[in-house]
């Protein structure tokens, strides 16, 4: 134990003997770096400009107000990005609003027609009726024409969200929701009624188109209106003692 103590005292005394004069002072290397740095690589790839542009886009989408002094820098960067934005605008403008509305109508109505075709076949199978495919296809094509006309005028297209010309904009969407809410409630209750009260011939003819209108009306509704409309149909079925 005494030996260890003596070693500790000797080490402490040797450290105390070293003074500031015995430490050599060397100036840091201030020469320019050899080769490209990470900042140089980032500048060559315009990563800083891309990051700033991305941040401005995110702030714009989130509704974050611009800070003082950002307007000038935005204008400078916007000048650099004008060509790219013009190219993107030209690409987006290749489809006119009317063409976009027509394509949207075709896409939706083809899907509704396929649903009509499926319901028609299912109803005929339910009543063990021999399926006449040419009749089923004919009815589906007729439904496609009717759906296209209704959908084109009633659906909320982004290019033209107006439902009733002359009505203020703030009333357009509530009016559309009211219309589809009534349609969903009536078609749902009527479909339950005919499947329980009418003959199979009436069900064969009316169930597929009514079912398609019901499905479409529910899809067009917001969730807060779709759920009550379905609840009305369910309540009507329970009130009348019907079954599915």
Q: Mind listing the pLDDT tens digit of every residue in the chain (244 residues)?
A: 555 555 555 555 555 555 666 677 777 777 776 777 777 777 777 777 888 888 887 777 666 666 555 555 555 555 545 555 555 554 444 678 888 888 989 999 999 999 999 999 999 888 888 888 999 999 999 999 999 999 998 888 877 777 888 888 888 889 999 999 999 999 999 999 999 988 888 888 899 999 999 999 999 999 999 999 999 999 999 999 888 7
Residue closest to 160 by CA, chosen among 113, 232, 105, 114 = 105
- Token representation of residue 101: 């509305």
Residue 160 β-bridge partners: 157
CB 116 within 8 A of CB 204: no
The single-letter DSSP state of residue 34 is: S
Label residue 21 exposed, middle or buried (CB < 10 Å: 0-12, 13-18, 19+).
Answer: exposed
Signed CA dihedral, 227, 231, 234, 237: sign only: negative
Tell me what pLDDT residue 97 has.
80
5: phi then psi, degrees, rounded to nearest 5: -65, -40
Residue 160 per-residue DSSP state: B
| CA atoms within 13 Å, Cβ hemisphere of 83 | 1
């Amino acid at each position: 134990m005494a030996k260890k103590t003596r070693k500790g005292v000797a080490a402490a005394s040797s450290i105390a003997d070293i003074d500031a004069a015995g430490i050599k002072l060397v100036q840091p290397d201030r020469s320019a770096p050899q080769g490209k740095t990470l900042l140089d690589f980032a500048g060559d790839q315009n990563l800083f400009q891309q990051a700033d542009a991305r941040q401005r886009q995110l702030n714009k989408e989130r509704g974050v107000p611009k800070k003082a002094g950002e307007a000038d820098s935005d204008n400078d960067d916007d000048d650099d990005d004008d060509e790219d934005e013009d190219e993107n605008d030209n690409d987006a403008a290749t489809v006119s609003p009317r063409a976009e509305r027509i394509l949207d109508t075709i896409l939706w109505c083809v899907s509704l027609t396929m649903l009509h075709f499926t319901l028609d076949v299912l109803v005929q199978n339910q009543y063990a009726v021999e399926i006449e495919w040419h009749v089923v296809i004919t009815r589906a094509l007729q439904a496609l024409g009717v759906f296209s006309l209704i959908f084109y005028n009633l659906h909320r297209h982004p290019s033209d969200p107006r439902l009733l010309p002359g009505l203020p904009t703030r009333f357009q969407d509530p009016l559309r929701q009211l219309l589809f809410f009534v349609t969903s409630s009536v078609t749902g209750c009527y479909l339950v009624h005919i499947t329980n009260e009418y003959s199979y011939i009436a069900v064969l003819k009316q169930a597929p188109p009514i079912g398609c209108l019901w499905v479409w009306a529910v899809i067009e509704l917001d969730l807060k209106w779709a759920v009550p409309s379905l609840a009305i149909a369910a309540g009507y079925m329970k009130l009348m003692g019907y079954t599915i």
